[in-house]
Amino acid sequence: MSVSTTVEQTDNITPLQILAPDGTVVRPDLMPKLSDQELREVMRKMVFTRVWDQRAISLNRQGRLGFYAPVAGQEATMIGSQSAIDKKDFILPSYRDIPQMVWHGLPLYQAFLYSRGHVHGGQIPQDVNVLMPQIIIAAQCTQATGIAMGFKLRNEKQVAITYFGDGATSQGDFYEGMNFAGVYKLPVIFFSQNNRYAISVPFEKQTAAGSVVIKAKAAGIPGVQVDGMDVLAVIKATQDARERGLNGEGATLIEALTYRYGPHTMAGDDPTRYRKGEEQSEWEKLDPLVRFRTFLEGKGQWSEKDEEAVIEEAKQAVADAIKQADAQPKMKVSDLIDVMYETLPPGLEEQKAEYLAKESK
């Protein structure tokens, strides 16, 4: 089936889809229960995130940001899933999942500081239930399972959701986390953003499985494959998974079929070296913002004026956040040593004294 019509099917699975690429509703019976205002807010976040992403790429090229992984193309998976959970739920992200963290409450300027390697970027506010982005591939899967076990032991009505790419599903932590969650029926959502490439390695080169979602069977948990360019389908899948977790039915694996339009990261990756032919242009026809915008315009809930207002809002927010990040005191090695332990061991006390002596000169 052509990608310009829908995302491809694998393992004879039909991905969950509510909105067709032309913005028409194909499964009205599955529409998530959202008010017009809530639908508009989802669109606002998606547009804001696209503009923020463009600005972050520019800032990286100017040397004003450090590590950055572009997100354009994956807004529906990110915003849709985050919109479907509660603020008290816990997010365990990978390094690309900064939007979910920010929309869950992390101040944008701290996200910029994280990119720069500044310690304050990792000092999460007390009321924001996120962990720092995980760089070790799939390590967040076992951590999410541990957090979910804590929720279950304390009888707390919360879920943990963890994000990872398709490449992470070939790692041991992915299987171990899901297996443990399956055995103990834990309230955790494993959310795979399958953008078809583990950096430059195509999906079919790093697993013989025809899909990610089929791997849920080995853990004895439900798996849902969803059109990751359809934000309403993502919301529906995440809402259902959250309800299963809260009701004591256990974990869910969601595979969102999506695509990143930019490089894996800004650290020298060139996607033109491993993407061939018309692949990118075909996926651009499935742009999640275009699809959802068309749907909302048909309902009379979005306009060019609305879009322009959000674009200006995002530009100003990014400018303000980078200014706030710039105003943060520069890091010193002694500062880094201070935050490593509550009580410093003798060896680090000695190192700190040495650095303080150097810094005072």
In 10 A of CB 5, how many CB atoms? 13
Q: Among 184, 261, 274, 355, which one carries the catalytic annotation? A: 274
| Residue 118 bears catalytic tag | no
- Say which residues have a Cβ less than 8 Å from residue 225's Cβ, sequence separation at least 6: 10, 13, 15, 16, 211, 212, 213, 254, 255, 257
Query: Which residue in 260, 261, 275, 341 is the catalytic one?
Result: 260
The verdict on whether 264 is a catalytic residue reads yes
Choosing from 104, 264, 291, 293, the catalytic residue is 264
Distance, in Å, from the CA atom of 114 to the CA atom of 52, rounded to the nearest integer, reads 15
96 is catalytic: no
Q: Please calculate the CA angle 168-171-177 and round it to the nearest 5 degrees.
A: 90
What's at 293, amino acid-wise? R
CB 291 within 8 A of CB 221: no
Backbone angles phi, psi at 206, to 5 degrees: -115, 0
Closest CA to 164 of 132, 202, 198, 188: 198
CB 8 within 8 A of CB 1: yes
List residues with catalytic annotation: 260, 264, 274
